[in-house]
Amino acid sequence: MKDKPLVINDKIYSSRLIVGTGKYKSLKETKLAVEASAAEMVTVAIRRVNIGQDKNQENLLDYIDPKKYTILPNTAGCYSADDAIRVSNLASEILGGEKLVKLEVLGDKKMLYPNISETLKAAEQLVKQNFKVMVYTTDDPLVAKELELIGCISVMPLAAPIGSGLGVQNSYNITSIVENAKVPIIVDAGVGTASDATIAMELGCDGVLMNTAIACSRNPVLMASAMKKAIESGREAFLAGRIPKKKYASASSPVEGSVSFDKE
Amino acid sequence: MTMNIFVNRAKTSISEKITIELLLMNLRIEKKFIAVEVNQVIVPKSKYKNFHLKENDEVEIIKAIGGG
Q: What is the pLDDT of residues A127-154, one digit of tens each?
A: 999 999 999 999 999 999 999 999 999 9
Q: What mean pLDDT do residues A60-65 have?
A: 93
User: Which long-range contacts (C-beta less than 8 Å, at least 24 apart) are formed by A121-128?
Assistant: A121/A81, A122/A75, A122/A81, A122/A84, A122/A85, A123/A147, A123/A150, A123/A151, A123/A152, A124/A150, A125/A81, A125/A85, A126/A84, A126/A85, A126/A88, A126/A101, A127/A151, A127/A152
Instruction: Encode pLDDT of B18-42 as tens digits.
Output: 999 999 999 999 988 999 999 999 9
Instruction: Encode pLDDT of A79-127 as tens digits.
Output: 999 999 999 999 999 999 999 999 999 999 999 999 999 999 999 999 9
Instruction: Encode pLDDT of A28-45 as tens digits.
Output: 999 999 999 999 999 999
Contact criterion met (CB < 8 Å) for B28 and A48: no
In this predicted structure, what is the pLDDT of residue A54?
58
Check if the interface score ipTM surpasses 0.90. Answer: yes
The share of chain A scoring above pLDDT 90, in percent, equals 89
Q: What mean pLDDT do residues A10-21 have?
A: 97
d(CA A225, CA A29): 13
Is residue A260 very low, low, confident or very high in pLDDT (cuts 50, 70, 90)? Answer: confident
Is residue A78 pLDDT above 70, yes or no? yes
Contact criterion met (CB < 8 Å) for B64 and A211: no
Q: What mean pLDDT do residues B5-14 have?
A: 95
- Between A11 and A251, the more confident residue is A11
In this predicted structure, what is the pLDDT of residue A177?
98
CB contact A119 to B (< 8 Å):
no
In this predicted structure, what is the pLDDT of residue B44?
96
Q: Catalytic residue positions of A? A: 102
SS3 assignment, position A93: helix
Q: Name the minimum distance, in Å, from the CA of B1 to any CA of chain A.
A: 23
Is residue A55 pLDDT above 60, yes or no? no
Bridge partners (DSSP) listed for residue A106 = A114
d(CA A253, CA A81): 60
Contact criterion met (CB < 8 Å) for A93 and B64: no
Q: Name the minimum distance, in Å, from the CA of A175 to any CA of chain B.
A: 24
The share of chain A scoring above pLDDT 70, in percent, equals 97
Instruction: Encode pLDDT of A1-15 as tens digits.
Output: 788 899 999 999 999
d(CA A150, CA A20): 26
CB A136 within 8 A of CB A106: no
